[in-house]
A = this chain, B = another copy of it.
Amino acid sequence: MTYCVGLFLDEGMVLLSDTRTNAGVDNISTFAKQHLFQREGDRAIVAMTAGNLAVSQAVINLIQEGVLHPDTGQVETIFSVHSMFAAAALTGAAVRQVYRTYGPTMQEQGVPFDVSILLGGQLAGRTMRLFQVYAAGNFINATPDTPFLQVGEHKYGKPILDRAVTPETPLSDGVKLALISMDSTLRSNLTVGLPLDLTVYRKDSLELATWRITEDDAYFRELRCGWSDALRAAYKAMPSPPYLPWRSTEGP
């Protein structure tokens, strides 16, 4: 299992994924589930994948090696596209190509064709964007109304994001919230695991800042303990429910 989350904030983006299923692919800055595509001063793109690993890897390879554009007849890659929208369309085309190749056989063998991709980034002079590409190759993008997207095991980590993430959330707070969201997932689903891959992108910088967060990461350990303590303190501080004491013999 996997959990990937992307925050789409006014200041930039926070992209966080776990690594429990290790991908074996070894190409440009490839982390387990986070794949970085950078060219200095030109583009900074991150793809995070969830779902069937063979499908994910095939898609990530295809967008680097090239997919034939159905209209122009040109081969496009993640380094040749001229916008994030085109990057999302390219990724969707790669997903459909993989589906055409392997989908029928997988279906016959009862293996679901399951892949979801978060694709965030910016090209020089263009708008920063964050997309979610589905298994049909279609996609949506994050908006101010929905300033975060998640793929994989997303439910445990959603409540804190629902409550706290707005476009105005500073990047630093966004990192905290993404890590808290991940921590909730790690605690509740053992198939999501450390280390974590974190990429922070400051809008218009065209530079990806990445970290690998391991078990030994002092800040993440402090955050996990501190957050549990804070939650316990917070619920303790809530007023007592009026439904008790007993309406029966114990009466108020």
Task: Name A residues whose Cβ lies closer than 8 Å to a Cβ of B.
Answer: 155-160, 162-164, 171-173, 175-177, 179-180, 184, 187-188, 198, 200, 202, 205, 207, 209, 211, 219, 222-223, 226-228, 230-244, 246-250
Contact = CB atoms under 8 A, between A and B. Distances in A.
B222 A239 contact: yes
A246 to B, nearest CB: 6
7 pairs of A and B residues whose beta carbons are closest in the complex? A155-B155, A230-B234, A159-B184, A175-B241, A207-B248, A211-B243, A163-B228
Contacts of A200: 243-244
A interface, over-half SS: helix
A69 to B, nearest CB: 33
Given A180-B238, A205-B248, 13 more contacts: A156-B158, A173-B236, A175-B241, A175-B243, A175-B244, A176-B238, A202-B250, A211-B243, A222-B239, A223-B241, A226-B239, A227-B235, A231-B231
A234 B230 CA distance: 6
A235 B205 contact: no
Contacts of A228: 163
Copies of this chain, tallied across the complex: 2
B209 A238 contact: no
Contact of A231 (B156, B164, B173, B187): B164
A241 B188 contact: no
Contact of A237 (B164, B230, B236, B238): B230
Given A163-B232, A232-B164, A243-B175, A226 B238 contact: yes
9 contacts: A156-B156, A172-B240, A173-B236, A176-B235, A177-B235, A205-B246, A209-B244, A209-B248, A223-B241
A27 to B, nearest CB: 23
A163 to B, nearest CB: 5
A228 B231 CA distance: 11
Contact of A238 (B187, B205, B211, B230): B230
A238 B180 CA distance: 10
A182 to B, nearest CB: 11
